[in-house]
Structure 1
């Protein structure tokens, strides 16, 4: 069986970042947007004006966690909120919503992480980035 591997290109990352930025700007949310490839390597980083610099590493780690485990980071946030504290020390996770895996043609090609506002707002921006790529 031959599988054609789909890769996330720089152009793809720029398209996603533009979609995410548009959503952030529409809501006046100063955030950092990080996009990683399927190995968790940083492909694109964008820090909007007035975004706190502490959000740079958080956005990157949200993206890395989302691709490493192939699931949204909200899953760990929900688990901890339910009292499942063992997820606090699970290596490679970040229990804060805002990291989403990117799936193209049923393949995990990377992830997007956003940080700077409330976690559900970060996730809203990240989803807008994915939607821009898939539209």
Structure 2
């Protein structure tokens, strides 16, 4: 049986991210910043390619984007839908009508996705067969919790 793994964006992941970037043949630099509260950006350089981010995880993410898409990353083979907006819309619905607009398959997928989040990630109970109204209240209250 597989144990599973959880990795969280935190400083204890910075060194492994930097080691991965170095193992790919990049040189890494810190570019200072004039703001007192911000010491600068990390920059990975190899050949004529530069990847700059506020921390090593962001730089590794940018390297990964380039490795998967190439120099023409903005015109990559990945579908062009706005996944970022879709995730935010699902997480922050305006009303139950947002869920009423979903097809039966779309709603079933939404329930399955949030079941995964609640049961596997958050280790919280999730209703067996929630209605659209119950899903709206569950998600709306979940994202408003402090």
TM range (shorter): under 0.3
TM-score, scaled to structure 1: 0.24
Q: Which has the larger share of helix?
A: 2
**More strand by percentage:** 1
Task: Name the structure, 1 or 2, with higher relative contact order (CA <8 Å, separation 6+).
Answer: 1
Bigger Rg, which one: 2
If the length of structure 2 is used for normalisation, what is the TM-score? 0.23
